[in-house]
Amino acid sequence: MFKYLATASAIAMATTAFAQEHDHDHDHHDEDVTLYRVFVGDHAGGSVTALDLADPDHRWQFDTTGQVKLFGVAGGATVAAVQSDDNAVHFFSSGISFEDHGDHADIAVSDPAAIDTVLTGPRPFHVVDHGGSVIINYDQGGYAELIDAHHLSHGEVELTTFTQSQAHHGFVALLGGNLLSTVASDVVDAPRLGLQAFNADGTPAGELATCTAIHGEAFSGAYLAAGCREGVLTATASADGVTYNMLPYEADLPAGNTTGTLLGSTGIQVFLGNYGANGLVVVDPVDAPHFRYIELPFRRVDFALDPVHPANGYVLTEDGTLHQVNLLEAALTGSVKVTEPYSMDGHWNDARPRLAMAGDEVIITDPNAGLLRRIDTDTLRETGTIAVEGAPYNIAVVGGSGIDH
């Protein structure tokens, strides 16, 4: 049985809402405000467009070093633009922040802006935003940089470095009082070994948990999960440190596949992961069956979870069809043709659509058409398009609803 998380009812406040305790009186001219701000990177590289979803002509343009992958971090107050091929990370203040008052959140809106500090290092890749830290792994540097999320939400970049024993494609995450880091072999081209807890000074705080070729971390509820050849490894914090549990792939799953990308629900303690080119798998970290397989009619292009309706997810397949996924039933419950076909043959980084959620809409980049497509989650109908110069590719959406006093 999936565990529903207490935050589910508050999701409508924001896709990624920033919350702080704050006291003040409310005898002012209150106004409900809902605002989602979309950040889109161009496939050719070196450009990010930001726009307000409710007023798409209200937009801003930012230059970067190269092609970006975008992440809403620090409660959505900041967007990180990771440029793995160009060894750089830019940050943008999103211009939207929230202060939590229990029964509602105050929203503050301003123009987005580039943060002066630009990180440079050998191949930044995975970004993990959890526990008050935004952590970026440098795959060819053998280290990760930790950034205080609260300070980052105010445009301040304060760095702490965590050194790994070997440079590798991996991640570092904060869990409880420990840093969890992937661990690589010192043998050239050997697969990554697994996950291990460390103290802040880099000394081991526990034994290595085997998870061969580990990849694709995500958080849901109390659990961190990552895929590997043996199954999905979960980790939870406890008074005695970190507790691991390997969920081995079950016999009824299609043989020869693994999970390498996981998304964690914010409303239900559950993960949605890839499983082979034509499949998804719903992962329950607590109760058996831990895996439920969903076969797709065509190869998967991209997928996302719905924070407003946490039982739902969405997946785009290469025939250009968007499918609604019901995680509780582990089934596709609706489909609609939204783009021309985008073949998964070719280079992994060829221009293909990407998905993001904005309240009751799925926002889909359509690089070949130069458009963002807006799909209503209730009807699965396209409600409009937004033209974006170039080839709109990677996307992040921040924002939500609050009261402007």
Helix (H, G, I), strand (E, B) or coil at 248: strand
The whole-angstrom separation of Cα 395 and Cα 392 is 8
Helix (H, G, I), strand (E, B) or coil at 9: helix
Amino acid at 220: S
Amino acid at 253: L
pLDDT reading at 328 higher than 60: yes
Per the model's pLDDT, the better-predicted residue between 8 and 181 turns out to be 181
The token duo for 48 is 């990010």
pLDDT reading at 39 higher than 90: yes
DSSP annotation string for 102-150? SS-EEEEE---EE-S--EE-S-EEEEEEETTEEEEEETTTTEEEEEEHH
The whole-angstrom separation of Cα 314 and Cα 322 is 7
Of 16, 48, 20, 49, whose CA–CA distance to 35 is shortest? 16
C-alpha distances in Å from residue 29, one per residue of 54, 75, 382, 400: 22, 26, 35, 20
User: Which pLDDT belongs to residue 129?
Assistant: 97
State mean pLDDT over 228-236: 98
In sequence order, which residues have a C-beta less than 8 Å from that of residue 360 and are 6 or more positions away?
308, 376, 377, 378
Percent of the chain with pLDDT over 90: 85
User: Which pLDDT belongs to residue 1?
Assistant: 55
User: Which pLDDT belongs to residue 3?
Assistant: 60
State mean pLDDT over 80-102: 94
User: Which pLDDT belongs to residue 14?
Assistant: 40
- Beta bridge partners, 165, equal none
The token duo for 112 is 């987005």
Contact (Cβ atoms closer than 8 angstroms) between residue 341 and residue 320: yes
State mean pLDDT over 146-154: 97
State mean pLDDT over 79-88: 98
pLDDT reading at 367 higher than 60: yes
pLDDT band at 323 (very low <50, low <70, confident <90, very high): very high
User: Which pLDDT belongs to residue 298?
Assistant: 98
Number of helical (H) and strand (E) elements in the chain, helices listed first: 1, 35
Query: pTM of this prediction?
Result: 0.92
State mean pLDDT over 217-238: 97
Contact (Cβ atoms closer than 8 angstroms) between residue 312 and residue 326: yes
Domains of the chain (ranges, CATH numbers): 171-295 (2.40.128)
pLDDT band at 2 (very low <50, low <70, confident <90, very high): low
**b/e code 54-88 from CB counts within 10 Å (16+ = b):** eebeebbebebbbbbbbbbbbbbbbbbbbbbebbb
CA dihedral of 231, 232, 237, 242, whole degrees rounded to 10: 30
pLDDT band at 24 (very low <50, low <70, confident <90, very high): very low
pLDDT reading at 23 higher than 60: no
Contact (Cβ atoms closer than 8 angstroms) between residue 356 and residue 396: yes
User: Which pLDDT belongs to residue 11?
Assistant: 38
Of 52, 142, 66, 84, whose CA–CA distance to 372 is shortest? 52
pLDDT reading at 27 higher than 60: no
Average pLDDT, the chain: 92
State pLDDT tens for residues 276-290: 999 999 999 999 999
pLDDT reading at 10 higher than 70: no
Class of residue 130 by CB neighbours under 10 A (exposed 0-12, middle 13-18, buried 19+): middle
Centre a 10 Å sphere on the Cβ of residue 98 and count the other Cβ atoms it contains: 26
The token duo for 24 is 């003040």
Q: What are phi and psi for residue 51, nearest 5 degrees?
A: -150, 155
User: Which pLDDT belongs to residue 175?
Assistant: 95
The whole-angstrom separation of Cα 214 and Cα 231 is 10
